[in-house]
Structures are given as structure tokens and as C-alpha cells.
Structure 1
């Protein structure tokens, strides 16, 4: 059983008492930790309009490879990395037989990321180690949308391994669980680990789900976060102002109402 499912079982299925509700001040402090920061890199959209496209800092020179777990019916993000920047992509997903398109820049394996090397699962660190001969000495990019298993992977992966990625674009799921104090404590520890070495440069709520509100605090149920490693950040010379939604943001699902990032997630007090 994955970590995500274990947490869900503890909070929602066991007969033990439900965890207490998060204190509003604790949740606000967590949100502040994730507020995006302006940098000297403009954001560009990689991938098609709608689902499959992401906003990332325009800092691709020297990135040799993208690791992209979670294969969908589209691969426009990886295709554009290949065509515009000659970045090769490693793709992995045990639920499909092949990537959605054939591309000489793609390398696919039928595995899913998790917190163990067993059966169909492979750890992120093990995946990188298996490609070491190709990726050694190069900066990497991570694009991860694995339907909730991002928590298993990120908790399991050392910060030294994560630092090999210059840019990380990660979709986080079931964020309504932040209103549970136990989950908030786990998420705070996880984000403290990541933000020691990375800054958040963009957040985009996925409109496949809406917002949840409690005590006047609105939390998107699902959002995509773009991280940039701190050694690539020149905070003294930002070239862009923070605006949400960003002009390049697109609705993931065109027919659904848009979900705009609430002010508390990006505006300074």
C-alpha cells in the first residue's frame, strides 16, 4: 500500500477518531511557504493549450534530460522540449504499453514511480541511477503527474537526488486534506524539505476539481507547482511581476469553469 493510500486509510477508513481540524494560523503559515517568488527568468509555456502544458522558467540551457513519470494520451510537453531545446525525455508508466507518440528523443519503460523497487514500481532515485551513464554531470528537469503517488515519491527521495533537477513541475492532488492537522503536519515537513533547495515560481490550480473553503481559507483540490533550484535564482534582479492567473495559464479542461489561485496563495500580507 502506498503512503497516500495509507494516510487516506488512517484518516477516513479506520475506526479510530478522525484527526482534528487544522488550526487556521498553521494552514496560513504553510500557504506562505509556497507563495511564488519573482525571479530573473520569464515564464514560458511548454506543451499545448489546456491539459499537458505547463509554465516553467525560461532557463533551459544546460538541461540535458527530462524525467516524466505518468504517461497520458498526450506528450506535447516532452515533444516541445525535444523540438525547441533538444532535451531528451525518459517516460515511465506501468499502466500503458507505450508512450502516446513515437519520438527519437523519448525513452519509455513500463514502470510506475513509487517508494519501493518492487513489481511494477521503481523509486525515483533508482530510475536516475539506471540512467547515470547518460545523465552524469547534467542538469535535469522533472515533470511529474502521478495521481497522488507524488507524496510517496517525494517523501522517499533524498533532497540530494531532487537537487539534480534544475526545474520540477509537480501536480499535487487531494489538497483538501490540508484541513486535517495530521496531513498538514506531513505536508509541511515535505515542503520544508523541498523549499530548502527550491523556490516556487508558479502555481496553477487544475480545474478538474474546484476549491474547498474553511474558516475563510480557500484551498484548490489539485494544483501544479513549478519549482526552480535556488542556485538558478537571482532574487535581486527579478524581471517579472507576479500576476495570477498568468497570461499564459490555460484551463486544463476547457468546458469546466476556471479555478483562479486565491489571493492568499500569492499576495504578500
Structure 2
């Protein structure tokens, strides 16, 4: 066995663990730590730093690339969104323009249908003379010592009568009822027996013990399936204390009134009638029939109330403004006294037939003759 030599590990007076400059060499590192030599650790650290730097650089480039891609996609999506919004706005605009055009066309049609102040053909002096002649028969007079009353609905279906109804025993012919019978029901409640005639419906929309219904057309001359006013009067009691005629038969009133005999006509104390189709003033046959009907009425009846039905138009007939639908109340001169009046129409008793439109102003409804 070898004993420890104090001089061992040196040669030529130089320590093996130290280089001539006095720095520790590898041998010294191994002798001191027993781990990786310091040079290897340093190199490892350098490599680690390089790797970290590369990783960070790569990560930065990746993040930058991703950011650029996200920005590009956002820009692309934003552009696409803007283009889609523009396309939708164009579609909305196109739809709006189309719809507005359609609404203006409909408005034009409604104005033409309801409030026509010009004819399709130029007005003539003959048309003006004709409408003024007919209008003269509608000049309203005032009831002497007597007021008027509204019977029926607040809008379409209500009519004005002289306020002299029988307490009992009265009867009425109601010609043309359709689906609105408020006048009939109120008169029945007042004690009148109502005789209804209408071939366009199967029965009255409202039943009442004092209402009799016939699915029969009112005609001017006797014919199969129809009845004249004279024939309808056969159902009325000869002892009736009062007899009133209400008529709304959609244009047939002209022929029916022209054809009624004077005896039948004289039985009525009051007549309330809706007159139609004044636009046909230029038609010779229509005008002759209308003239004959009004002349017959004027011989024994006075007009005491007029009201324009605003479901119809206010039409310029021969440049004379005139309603196409006119509700008129007549009283029998043998039963009522009248005098010249200056009443303005519509009155406080009147209501627009069509509630969503204003009533048609008629003034005094007096025209030069």
C-alpha cells in the first residue's frame, strides 16, 4: 500500500489543478464540484439561451402572423358584411319604392272612385242642364212646426224621418235590407209592423216579432218571382194608421218609382230612399227614367232632408259637383206642411255612412233652375 505523499500532485513546482495563469482548469473543476464542468454548463446555458431566443422569436413571428391573419380575416369579414348590408339596403329600398308606387296607384284609384271631380270625357252643356234639372227636384224644404229624428245605426243604415210617428198601428215597407236592419228593428220597437223585401239574402240578419221577411225582388212591372210596390202593399193592413216606405235597392229605384201608380204612392206618409248612379246622367234612357220618377214624386211629396252617402263619390257632372249616392227624405204634402228653408247639410242628425271618412258637405243643396 502506498502512503500519502505530501509532495504528490506537483511536478516541477506547478500545481496540476492550476494553469500557469493561476486559473482553474478542468481538473480543478472536477476536483471541486463533481458535476458538469463549468465550460459545458456555460455552453449548455448559451445553447439554452439561443433556443429560448429562437422560441421567443418564433412565437413572436407566429403571434404576429396570427394577428395579421386575424386582422385580414376581420377586414375580409368586415368588407363582406358591409357588402351584404349594402345589398340588403338596396333590396329594402327597392321594396320600399315598389310598395310606395303600389300604394300611390291604389290611392289614385280610391280618389278616382270616391272623390272624382273630373270626367273621363269633357263635360257638356247638355249634361250640366240635365243634372241641374234633376237637382231641382231635391231642393230641401223645412218642416213647419215639426222637427226630425234619426232612426237606425249611427253610420250606414240610419235614416232621417219627420218626427211624427204613429203611437200604434203603423206599418212600413223596407225594400232592400242586405245585412243591415237597424232602421227596421228600431221602427219595430216603436210599434210598426215591418214588411221586408230582398231577393239577395235568405233572411233578415235580426229576427223580431214585428218583422215579416219575403225573399222577393221589387220590380217596376209585374213579373214572375218579383213584386211591384202595389203588390207588396197587398200585405199591408188597410187600417194602418201610418205607412212609411224605406227603399235602398241599388239603382232599381228609378224604374220602380217611375212605374208606381199614384194611388199606391199616395198611401205613404213618408218615403226615405237612397238614389244611385247619377254618373249615368249622359245616358238618354237613364235620364228619361230618372226625370219621370222625380216628376212623379214631386207632384205630391216635398224633400225635407238630403244626405250624401260617402261610400260613393262626389262627382263633377257637367261641372256641377253632385254626390253619386244620395239619401233623401220625402213627406206627403197631404200630411205635412213645409216652407222654404236654408238648412245646411249634413246636419247634427247626420252621420257619415263610412265612419273612417268625413261626411260630404252639400251646403243648402240648392241649384239654379
Where do residues 20-169 of structure 1 align in structure 2 (5 Å cutoff)? 22-40=126-144, 41-61=146-166, 64-83=170-189, 85-129=190-234, 131-132=235-236, 134-136=237-239, 138-169=241-272
Unaligned runs of 5+ in 2: 1-123
2-structure distance, mates of 1:103, 1:202: 28
Of structures 1 and 2, the one scoring higher in RCO (CA 8 A, sep 6+) is 1
Say whether the 8 Å CA contact 1:218–1:262 is kept in structure 2: no
Task: Decide whether the 8 Å contact of 2:150 with 2:349 is kept in 1.
Answer: yes
- State the secondary structure of the residue aligned to 2:321: strand
Query: For each residue in 1:148-171, what CA deviation from the matched residue of structure 2 results, as whole angstroms up to 9, or x when unmatched?
Result: 111221111112201111010111
The offset of 1:116, in angstroms, is 3.5
Q: Which one is further off, 179-188 or 201-210? A: 179-188
Question: Gaps spanning 5+ residues in structure 1: where?
Answer: 1-19
CA contact (8 A) 1:176 1:219 kept: no
- Do the aligned residues in 2 keep the contact of 1:21 with 1:181 (CA within 8 Å)? no
**2: CA distance, partners of 1:137 / 1:178:** 38
The structure carrying a bigger strand percent of its residues is 1
Paired residues, number: 244
- Tell me the CA shift for residue 77 of structure 1: 0.5
Q: Aligned match of 1:206 in 309, 313, 318?
A: 309
2:357 is aligned with 1:256: yes
Tell me, what secondary structure is at the counterpart of 2:293?
Answer: helix
2:281 aligned with 1:178: yes
- Match in the other structure for 2:347: 246
Q: Deviations over 1:12-40 (max 9, x none)?
A: xxxxxxxx863534432331222010012
| TM-score scaled by length of structure 2 | 0.61
| Structure 1 residue 192: Cα displacement | 1.1
Which is higher, the Rg of structure 1 or of structure 2? 2
Question: What is the Cα-based RMSD across aligned positions, in Å?
Answer: 2.3
Higher helix share: 2
**Which residue number corresponds to residue 266 of structure 1?**
366
Deviation at 1:137, TM superposition (A): 5.2
